[in-house]
Amino acid sequence: MASYAEETVKFMKLALEQAKDALVNLEVPVGCVFVEDGEVIASGRNRTTETRNATRHAEMEAIDFLVEQWQKNGLSPLEVSERFSKCTLYVTCEPCIMCAAALSYLGIKEAYYGCGNDKFGGCGSILSLHTSCSELPTSELASSKKGFKCTGGIMASEAVSLLRSFYEQGNPNAPKPHRPLTQQV
């Protein structure tokens, strides 16, 4: 088991490198890597400020890279789906509801994350989109819905301290003064 944990830490460190890169670029410091057969095949980090698109999370960046790459190589949707099913994701923060749903649509094999995401986590904190859900008995398509194994708490303190330094320096992108939406509308 020691070597297994060693590998997990190795890949999480690479994900943390991505997160640091985000921090340097004034982005929310979350990073990830996709690993297939023990090799990193894609990495990503938040680009929400740069793109002004709040959906450009680390996972989405890496996913788009892979889809583009595999498509260039002429892989069919089915082949891409097979490749994703062999992928393990290492991400510094629990995937949000959006990313967890995306990962479930792709049918990845497994995910490891650093810190939990108690505001919008989609892998157990708020919703559990990683579990192959049998809550939809009415749907004949539930069978095609795959879950993925998800393990949290890998180097969580490193991930948290990156996020902390970001929020201490202030999110330059957040509306000021920060106030709840109900007062704005």
Q: Say if CB 81 and CB 106 are below 8 A apart.
A: yes
Closer residue to another protein (CB): 129 or 163: 129
Identified binder of another protein from the candidate list 67, 124, 147, 160, rule CB under 8 A: 67
Closest to 158 measured CA to CA, from 8, 1, 12: 12
What does the alpha-carbon distance between residue 152 and residue 71 come to, in Å, rounded to a whole number?
31
Candidate segments 13-21, 61-69, 148-156, 159-167, binder of another protein by CB under 8 A: 61-69
24 binds another protein (CB under 8 A): no
Q: Choose, from 59, 61, 82, 110, the residue flagged as catalytic.
A: 59
What does the alpha-carbon distance between residue 147 and residue 130 come to, in Å, rounded to a whole number?
5
Q: Say if CB 33 and CB 62 are below 8 A apart.
A: yes
Interface with another protein in residues 79-118 (CB under 8 A): 80-81, 96-102, 104-107, 118
Q: What are phi and psi of 89, to 5 degrees?
A: -100, 135
Q: Say if CB 15 and CB 31 are below 8 A apart.
A: yes
Which residues contact another protein by CB under 8 A?
A: 48-55, 60, 63-64, 67-68, 71-72, 76-78, 80-81, 96-102, 104-107, 118-120, 122, 126-127, 129, 135-136, 138-139, 141, 144-146, 170, 172-176, 181-182, 184-185
Show which residues are catalytic. 59
